[in-house]
Amino acid sequence: MDIKVVSMFLLVVLITLLITFYASRKTNNASSFYTAGGGLKGWQNGFAIAGDFMSASSFLGLIGAIALVGYDGFFLMYGALISYLVVLLLVAEPLRNLGKYTLADMIAERFNSKKIRGVTAFNALTISVFYMLAQLVAAGALFKLLLDINYEVSVILVGLVMLTFVIFGGMTATSWVQITKAFLLLGGTFFIFILVMSKFDFNFIRIFEEMKTATPLSGAYLDPGAKYTNGLDAISLTLGLILGTAGLPHVLSRFLTVPDAKVARKSVVYSIWIIGLFYVMVIFLGFAAARFVGADTIMAANPAGNMAAPLLAEMLGGDTLFAIISAVAFATILAVVAGIVVTGATAFSHDFYNEILKDGKASEAQQVRMARIASIGITIISIFIALFVQNMNVAFLASLALTVAASSNLPVILFTVYWKRFNITGAITGILVGLIGTMALVAVSPNIWNPVPGAALFVGEPLFPLTSPGILSIPLGFLGAYLGTILSSKKEHTGNFQEILVKSNTGSDVKGVNHH
């Protein structure tokens, strides 16, 4: 165990505890636990959104992917940036104008139905657990590499630190940990970027020239096709990335932490610039890792390439920079996991406990207590599952969560706000078809089935040829919502469409904002 790495990790823990201490004094009612009282400023929420997205899998995974497979690594990232245009143009503002604490609030604003609230909240919890699994598995692998402690201990450790600030500081602490981490991650990335560029004499043409011969792939490194051989798979992956973000519960809940739609819009604009600039730097960091660290060394440390960024830092700035970048990666995992847990706990406490069980009459204190219990519950369940799936590919788990989000939540969000004829049956069939359809396609995909023994969970020919099911499952979700609506009784309640049309477009009734 490296003393520098350990002390940097302790520093990260100390900073999060300090933030928690200040935030806990403000966490005195349900609204502040769920959504930081709706009081974040545009730039703050923008950094927090960007922070939610710059997860360990994007920082470590993408740099590794670019380093090992070159151009094909780009397919894993750019769809995610473009997904924020979907969020900006179609989802963020209606969500802020209609929702209170959760996505289910927004749907229930049109259809006053407990059934729909329950289904939406259940789906939010499912997606959150999948997304959290991806982060926990990544955390376990990272700790094993950096601190040389075993997977089980690492996952439990991350869970405990994260729970401390979620329980005491709720969404306020989570947001500030996220903002702080976004600054650290951007700063660290920018510093390495400058070091890397100076090694190339700031000559962009030369970088591409050198990359042609720098890797075992030689010329093919800079062309598409080194990883993906099936074009349909690449298109399907891109589609899932573009449409997935707008359905991720923990990203959606970020738009309920601001006071109005204008601030929600501003925060997406901030995050689009931050994520875009971050990704541009990530491309060149990936190049530099391939050029200066070398594919062999990167693969030896971790076959998936996850150690490319820390190894590059070590090569450029010795063990101090290595320790700093590793600690930033640790902070990233903590912050992202916390955001997911708060969102899941809110869905449980607000939707299931308060709205469904208590008819919206639970006291503030009861709700905060239930949210804390739910946080602990979700963490324990996720840690428990994470202990069994440690050999699953992290990117696969994360993309599964994204595809479920795109196939189940997005159709219902869009139809609720934009389709007059939409009804309760359509909303329920949309979510269920999207959720179950995605799961079923994954269950018969090459992720689970491979004719070569040991390459996947089961031995055999996959029934569905693509690793990313988005291209089929997303249309299925929309179709489910459409058919459910069209085929159900014409007399069925279509909700107060006119009312939500006005509210969604004018912001005449924004809920869940604390006024001091």
Residues 431, 366: Cα–Cα separation, whole Å: 30
Q: Is 498 in the site for other proteins (CB under 8 A)?
A: yes
* Sign of the C-alpha dihedral computed for residues 129, 244, 276 and 259 taken in this order: negative
Q: Which residue stretch of 87-95, 130-138, 182-190, 367-375 sits at the interface with other proteins (rule: CB under 8 A)?
A: 87-95
Q: List, in order, residues 6 or more apart from 429 with CB less than 8 Å away.
A: 480, 481, 483, 484
Q: Is 514 in the site for other proteins (CB under 8 A)?
A: yes
Q: Is 22 in the site for other proteins (CB under 8 A)?
A: no
Q: Is 226 in the site for other proteins (CB under 8 A)?
A: no
| Closest to other proteins by CB, 366 or 488 | 366
Q: Is 274 in the site for other proteins (CB under 8 A)?
A: no
| Closest to other proteins by CB, 128 or 473 | 473
Q: Is 297 in the site for other proteins (CB under 8 A)?
A: no
Kindly give the residue spans of alpha helices, DSSP state H, lying in 355-423.
364-386, 394-404, 410-418
| Closest to other proteins by CB, 257 or 302 | 257
Q: How far is the CB of 85 from other proteins (least distance, A)?
A: 5
Q: Is 218 in the site for other proteins (CB under 8 A)?
A: no
Q: Is 78 in the site for other proteins (CB under 8 A)?
A: yes
User: How long, in residues, is the chain?
Assistant: 516
Q: Is 439 in the site for other proteins (CB under 8 A)?
A: no
Q: How far is the CB of 125 from other proteins (least distance, A)?
A: 25
- Interface pick for other proteins out of 84, 101, 165, 255 (rule CB under 8 A): 84
Q: Which residue stretch of 82-90, 130-138, 161-169, 365-373 sits at the interface with other proteins (rule: CB under 8 A)?
A: 82-90
Q: CA dist 322 to 127, 256, 286, Å? A: 33, 37, 16
Check if the beta carbon of residue 188 is closer than 8 Å to that of residue 325.
yes
Residues 193, 173: Cα–Cα separation, whole Å: 30
Q: Is 493 in the site for other proteins (CB under 8 A)?
A: no
- Interface pick for other proteins out of 280, 357, 380, 457 (rule CB under 8 A): 280
- Interface pick for other proteins out of 181, 265, 291, 350 (rule CB under 8 A): 265
Q: Is 273 in the site for other proteins (CB under 8 A)?
A: yes
Neighbours of 207 (CB within 10 A): 20
Q: By CB under 8 A, how many residues form the interface with other proteins?
A: 61
Q: Is 502 in the site for other proteins (CB under 8 A)?
A: yes
- Interface pick for other proteins out of 1, 3, 205, 452 (rule CB under 8 A): 205
Whose CA is closest to 411, among 436, 430, 433, 395?
430
| Closest to other proteins by CB, 160 or 365 | 365
Per DSSP, which regions of 127-206 are E strands?
none
Residue type, 139: A
Give kind and range of the element (H or E) at residue 135: helix 114-147
Whose CA is closest to 504, among 91, 46, 113?
91
Check if the beta carbon of residue 179 is closer than 8 Å to that of residue 47.
yes
- Interface pick for other proteins out of 108, 121, 147, 234 (rule CB under 8 A): 234
Q: How far is the CB of 495 from other proteins (least distance, A)?
A: 12
Residues 243, 239: Cα–Cα separation, whole Å: 6
Q: Which residue stretch of 71-79, 173-181, 315-323, 449-457 sits at the interface with other proteins (rule: CB under 8 A)?
A: 71-79
Q: Which residue stretch of 184-192, 270-278, 333-341, 442-450 sits at the interface with other proteins (rule: CB under 8 A)?
A: 270-278
Q: Which residue stretch of 14-22, 233-241, 323-331, 475-483 sits at the interface with other proteins (rule: CB under 8 A)?
A: 233-241
- Interface pick for other proteins out of 9, 34, 75, 464 (rule CB under 8 A): 75
Check if the beta carbon of residue 161 is closer than 8 Å to that of residue 155.
no
Check if the beta carbon of residue 329 is closer than 8 Å to that of residue 61.
no
Check if the beta carbon of residue 40 is closer than 8 Å to that of residue 177.
no
Q: Is 43 in the site for other proteins (CB under 8 A)?
A: no
Residues 46, 164: Cα–Cα separation, whole Å: 24
| Closest to other proteins by CB, 230 or 320 | 230
Q: Is 127 in the site for other proteins (CB under 8 A)?
A: no
DSSP code string of 58-124: IIIIIHHHHHHHTTHHHHTTHHHHHHHHHIIIIIHHHHHHH-SSSHHHHHHHHS--HHHHHHHHHHH
Looking only at residues 360 through 419 of this chain, which bind other proteins when binding is defined by CB under 8 A? 364
Q: How far is the CB of 503 from other proteins (least distance, A)?
A: 8
- Catalog residues that contact other proteins under the rule CB under 8 A: 28-29, 31, 71, 74-75, 78-79, 81-82, 84-86, 88-90, 204-205, 208-209, 211-212, 222-225, 228, 230-231, 234-235, 238-239, 242, 262, 265, 268-269, 272-273, 276, 279-280, 364, 496, 498-499, 501-502, 505-516
